[in-house]
């Protein structure tokens, strides 16, 4: 069992950039219909952990790259007491970069992003909840929608699919830093922490509404977001900068892969908005860009760029002590600078029909960063779309405006709840 | 569920999570609350303690600087204080209070003590006794201590490999000082470099295959 893995192409970046204000820890949760039984959850985790060898690892320091190694220490479930996506203290977590939390009816999995992306995390959570329900004595079946805990890990699940799909054509990013996007500023919470606000809305209704407007659910919500951020921007008198939303795109759809490791790309969708631009214009612009940036050729170019950047001998032979600061600089200058906010849609999560009655809904929390202090995560389960904003600043004007505007535009009921971090009474 | 009339949204909260307007009593939820109540005082205390330690350190240096300039401006003894404060901060925050890896604590001690000694030596006129004798033996001590710990912890040695490699690399620092003309006495530098090489060779030749496997992983490109 002395297995080790190189950190995948995207995962390496998270090692370089994580800090107190950028935990690089994201969360996926399922809210069940009944209160969670910790002992049962622990037993389920003990069984499921072995099934996901690339998630239950420790990270070791290397001279040129860090790497992941099999971890045989126990992984304990914990009652949630900290704010979502808090940095993972490996010392108190038996060196794991993943934690399984429970609170009331919620089971949450928080993962350091270098291990996997949203797709991998959802598969882990699905299997965990499946095993939990089995141990609770519920009559549930996998129905081909869940990775079975008793199956051995498939070789393809642990592969770095970037390497598989790279066509080897070196496609370098242009030297320029690109256009700077509008950046949200605010007062950081004291003490540091993350406030989450969830809005639950009818998924199929909203999807149909978006279709009627000639766009997808993601396109519609992104357009609302750009619209409200623009309004907020105008109050600060910053009319020149464009509003750009970074959209992580799972590559598994266009490049078939069973990998449970990182396999995503990011497309920045932006629009210059002024007083003459209508909401319909924004939808048209966003939808057009979505089509263009999620095109297979564009994604292939991204894969090639990722791989060629990290496979050059110069990059590989530079020690991590020098490489990480350089990667941090690149991340801030190219990644963070070019976006206003990240919006990630994990899509409509398919669950076995027999499990559906036991689960109410899901949510995903995306860690905010210093330059992107508000981020948004979307996920649909049981026809309920949960829109989650995570923020590290006191100001919530954009979030308030977003939900009010969504309600006004669509007329759909939205149920709001929050963890109330930073809301002193 | 309550309804916020300002936002036109439903919520189980007593106040609207968006506009903070009072919207009614907290709904007696069949579902219960989904997040714990946070003890922000505890978070604040943690932040304040570390900030207070840094502030006290800076304050000490500033007061000493003022006294130094007023009383004895021709001899800047304040540097002794500054470097000592730096060392004490490392000692407290990393070596004693943090839960960092023991290997990391040894490396941090060797590095911070080296800096402390270099500055003290420099202040006394020219760098001499520190680079000639003390730093080489400090590094030898660090390598020795780490090797003994690795032999003692047996199964859990994996976490020490990077730190040991770092210490072994530091073993060549005194020799570099000598080549650069900073150090004037050769033999302690040679002892440190030889000790580092001997330790590495011994581990490489006598350790089990697992260590060599670890080396392969640490140096993978």
Binary contact (A193, B33; C-beta < 8 A)? no
Binary contact (A92, B18; C-beta < 8 A)? no
What pLDDT is stored for residue A330 in this prediction? Answer: 83
Query: Please, what are the domains in chain A?
Result: 4-151 (3.30.559.10), 195-418 (3.30.559.30)
Q: Is A178 left (phi over 0), alpha (psi -120 to 50) or beta?
A: left
According to DSSP, the β-strands at A243-250 and A341-348 are parallel
Compare all CA atoms of chain B with the CA of A81 and give the residue at the minimum distance. B36
Q: Across the A/B interface, how many CB contacts are shorter than 8 Å? A: 122
CB-nearest to B40 from A103, A191, A316 is A191
Binary contact (A105, B8; C-beta < 8 A)? no
Which pLDDT tens digit goes with each residue over B20-78? Answer: 998 877 655 544 578 998 888 888 887 788 788 888 889 999 999 999 899 888 888 88
pLDDT over 90 (residue A202): yes
**Nearest of A4, A225, A215 to residue B218 by alpha carbon:** A4
What pLDDT is stored for residue B48 in this prediction? Answer: 80
Regarding whether B182 and B125 lie in a shared domain, the answer is yes
Residue linked to tokens 């639950």: A200
Least Cα separation, residue A264 to chain B (angstroms): 23
| Beta strands across the sheet bearing A57-60 | A4-6, A67-70, A57-60
pLDDT over 80 (residue A11): yes
Least Cα separation, residue B161 to chain A (angstroms): 9
How many CB atoms neighbour CB A188 within 10 A?
15
Regarding whether B148 and B191 lie in a shared domain, the answer is yes
In A226-358, beta strands by DSSP E: 243-250, 264-271, 341-348
The number of distinct structural domains making up chain B is 3
Binary contact (B8, A404; C-beta < 8 A)? yes
Residues of A in contact with B38 (CB under 8 A): 81-83, 193, 419-421
Peptide bond into A191 cis (omega under 30): yes
Which pLDDT tens digit goes with each residue over A139-169? Answer: 999 999 999 999 999 899 999 999 899 987 6
Q: State the average pLDDT over residues A323-346.
A: 88
**Nearest of A303, A10, A13 to residue A164 by alpha carbon:** A303
CA-to-CA distance for B195 and A389, rounded, in angstroms? Answer: 56
Report phi then psi at A219, rounded to 5: -60, -40
CA distances to A4, A108, A194, A310, B137 from A18, in Å: 22, 21, 15, 19, 36
Chain A contact probe: residue of B4, B9, B29, B212 with most A CBs at under 10 A: B9
Binary contact (A65, B31; C-beta < 8 A)? no
Residues of B in contact with A199 (CB under 8 A): 9
Which of residues B55, B75, B97 is at a domain's end? B97
Q: Is the Cβ–Cβ distance between A83 and A421 less than 8 Å? A: yes
**Nearest of A10, A26, A19, A21 to residue A367 by alpha carbon:** A26
Q: Is the Cβ–Cβ distance between A244 and A338 less than 8 Å? A: yes
Least Cα separation, residue B163 to chain A (angstroms): 9
CA distances to A197, B131, B167, B168, B178 from B199, in Å: 56, 22, 11, 8, 21
**Nearest of A189, A197, A198, A196 to residue A422 by alpha carbon:** A189
Least Cα separation, residue A15 to chain B (angstroms): 16
> Which residues, other chains included, contact B220 with Cβ-Cβ below 8 Å and sequence gap of 6+?
A6, A62, A64, A65, A67
Report phi then psi at B9, rounded to 5: -130, 155
pLDDT over 80 (residue A96): yes
Regarding whether B156 and B91 lie in a shared domain, the answer is no
CB-nearest to A417 from B7, B12, B44 is B12
Which pLDDT tens digit goes with each residue over A266-302? Answer: 999 988 888 788 899 999 999 999 999 999 999 999 8
Which of residues B64, B80, B97 is at a domain's end? B97
> Which residues, other chains included, contact B101 with Cβ-Cβ below 8 Å and sequence gap of 6+?
B159, B160, B163
Percent of chain B whose pLDDT exceeds 90? 34
pLDDT tens, residue order, chain B (221 aa): 889 999 999 998 889 999 999 887 765 554 457 899 888 888 888 778 878 888 888 999 999 999 989 988 888 888 888 889 889 888 888 888 777 888 889 999 999 999 999 888 888 877 788 889 999 999 999 999 988 888 887 767 777 888 888 899 999 999 999 999 888 899 999 999 999 999 888 887 877 677 788 888 888 88
CB-nearest to B17 from A63, A316, A418 is A418
CA-to-CA distance for A53 and A71, rounded, in angstroms? Answer: 9
Binary contact (A417, B47; C-beta < 8 A)? no
Residues of A in contact with B32 (CB under 8 A): 35, 104-105
Least Cα separation, residue B75 to chain A (angstroms): 38
CA distances to A137, A274, B63, B157, B164 from B152, in Å: 46, 68, 46, 9, 14
* 3-state secondary structure at position A381: strand
What number of residues does chain B have? 221
CA atoms within 13 A on the CB side of A175: 0
Which of residues B62, B81, B97 is at a domain's end? B97
Regarding whether B135 and B59 lie in a shared domain, the answer is no
Regarding whether B54 and B32 lie in a shared domain, the answer is no
Regarding whether B112 and B70 lie in a shared domain, the answer is no
Regarding whether B161 and B133 lie in a shared domain, the answer is yes
Residues of B in contact with A197 (CB under 8 A): 17-18
CB-nearest to B162 from A6, A61, A418 is A61
Binary contact (B43, A81; C-beta < 8 A)? no
Q: State the average pLDDT over residues A88-110.
A: 94
pLDDT over 80 (residue A180): yes
Binary contact (B7, A61; C-beta < 8 A)? no
Binary contact (B213, A418; C-beta < 8 A)? no
> Which residues, other chains included, contact B75 with Cβ-Cβ below 8 Å and sequence gap of 6+?
B68
Residue A264, beta-bridge partner list: A250
Residue linked to tokens 């970046």: A13
Regarding whether B185 and B163 lie in a shared domain, the answer is yes
Range of the domain at B58: 39-97
Tokens coding A163:
């390497």
Q: Is the Cβ–Cβ distance between A68 and A4 less than 8 Å? A: yes
Q: What share of chain B is helix, strand, coil (3-state, %, to 5)?
A: 70, 5, 25
Tokens coding A53:
């060898």
Binary contact (B35, A193; C-beta < 8 A)? no
Compare all CA atoms of chain A with the CA of B215 and give the residue at the minimum distance. A62
Tokens coding A296:
């297979």
Least Cα separation, residue B92 to chain A (angstroms): 18
Binary contact (A199, B32; C-beta < 8 A)? no
Regarding whether B139 and B189 lie in a shared domain, the answer is yes
pLDDT over 70 (residue A174): no
Residue A376, beta-bridge partner list: A343, A389
Tokens coding A30:
């399922």
A87, with CB counted inside 10 A (0-12, 13-18, 19+), is: middle
pLDDT over 60 (residue A1): no
Regarding whether B116 and B207 lie in a shared domain, the answer is yes
What pLDDT is stored for residue A177 in this prediction? Answer: 60
CA-to-CA distance for A294 and A136, rounded, in angstroms? Answer: 42
Tokens coding A235:
């109050």
What pLDDT is stored for residue A239 in this prediction? Answer: 67
Regarding whether B21 and B54 lie in a shared domain, the answer is no
Residues of B in contact with A415 (CB under 8 A): 1, 9-12
Regarding whether B93 and B12 lie in a shared domain, the answer is no
Q: What is the ipTM of this complex?
A: 0.86
CB-nearest to A421 from B33, B34, B38 is B38
């Amino acid at each position: 069992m002395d297995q080790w893995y190189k950190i995948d192409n995207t995962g390496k970046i998270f090692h370089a950039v994580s800090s107190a204000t950028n935990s690089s820890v994201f969360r996926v949760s399922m809210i069940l219909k009944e209160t969670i039984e910790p002992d049962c959850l622990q037993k389920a985790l003990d069984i499921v952990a072995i099934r996901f060898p690339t998630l239950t690892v420790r990270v070791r320091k290397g001279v040129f790259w860090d790497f992941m190694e099999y971890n045989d220490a126990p992984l304990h479930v914990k009652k949630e007491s900290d704010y979502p996506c808090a940095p993972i203290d490996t010392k108190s977590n038996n060196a794991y970069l993943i934690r399984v939390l429970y609170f009331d009816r919620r089971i949450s999995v928080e993962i350091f992003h270098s291990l996997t992306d949203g797709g991998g995390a959802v598969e882990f959570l699905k299997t965990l909840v499946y095993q939990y329900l089995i141990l609770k004595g519920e009559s549930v079946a996998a129905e081909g929608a869940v990775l079975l805990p008793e199956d051995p890990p498939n070789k393809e699940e642990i592969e770095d699919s970037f390497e598989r799909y790279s066509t080897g054509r070196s496609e370098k990013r242009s030297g320029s830093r690109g256009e700077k996007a509008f950046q949200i500023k605010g007062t950081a919470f004291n003490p540091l922490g993350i406030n989450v606000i969830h809005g639950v809305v009818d998924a199929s209704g909203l999807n149909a509404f978006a279709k009627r407007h000639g766009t997808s659910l993601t396109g519609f919500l992104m357009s609302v977001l750009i619209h409200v951020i623009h309004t907020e921007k105008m109050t600060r008198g910053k009319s020149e900068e464009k509003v750009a939303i970074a959209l992580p795109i799972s590559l598994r759809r266009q490049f078939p892969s069973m990998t449970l490791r990182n396999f995503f790309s990011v497309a920045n969708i932006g629009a210059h908005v002024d007083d003459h631009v209508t909401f319909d214009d924004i939808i048209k612009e966003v939808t057009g860009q979505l089509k263009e940036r999620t095109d297979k050729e564009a994604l292939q170019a991204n894969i090639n760029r990722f791989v060629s950047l990290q496979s050059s001998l110069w990059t590989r032979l530079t020690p991590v002590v020098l490489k990480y600061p350089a990667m941090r600089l690149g991340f801030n200058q190219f990644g963070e600078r070019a976006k206003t906010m990240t919006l990630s849609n994990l899509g409509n999560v398919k669950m076995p029909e027999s499990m559906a009655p036991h689960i109410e809904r899901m949510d995903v929390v995306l860690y905010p960063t210093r330059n992107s202090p508000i981020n948004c995560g979307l996920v649909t389960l049981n026809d309920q779309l949960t829109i989650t904003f995570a923020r590290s600043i006191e100001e919530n004007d954009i979030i308030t405006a977003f939900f009010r505007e969504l309600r006004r535009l669509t007329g759909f009921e939205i149920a709001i709840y929050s963890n109330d971090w930073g809301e002193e009474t | 569920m309550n309804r916020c009339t300002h936002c036109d949204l439903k919520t189980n909260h007593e106040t609207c999570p968006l506009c903070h307007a009072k919207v009614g009593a907290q709904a007696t939820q069949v579902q219960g609350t989904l997040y714990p109540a946070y003890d922000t005082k505890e978070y604040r205390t943690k932040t304040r303690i570390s900030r207070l330690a840094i502030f006290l350190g800076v304050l000490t240096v500033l007061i000493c600087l003022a006294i130094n300039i007023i009383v004895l401006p021709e001899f800047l003894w304040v540097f002794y204080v500054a470097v000592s404060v730096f060392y004490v901060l490392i000692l407290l925050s990393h070596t004693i209070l943090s839960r960092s890896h023991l290997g990391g604590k040894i490396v941090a001690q060797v590095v911070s003590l080296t800096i402390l000694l270099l500055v003290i030596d420099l202040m006394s006129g020219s760098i001499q006794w520190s680079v000639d004798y003390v730093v080489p033996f400090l590094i030898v001590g660090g390598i020795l201590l780490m090797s003994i710990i690795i032999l003692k912890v047996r199964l859990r040695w994996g976490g020490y490999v990077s730190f040991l490699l770092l210490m072994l690399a530091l073993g060549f620092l005194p020799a570099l000082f000598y080549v650069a003309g900073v150090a004037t006495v050769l033999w302690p530098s040679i002892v440190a470099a030889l000790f580092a090489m001997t330790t590495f060779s011994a581990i490489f030749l006598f350790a089990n295959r697992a260590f060599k496997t670890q080396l392969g992983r640490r140096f993978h490109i």
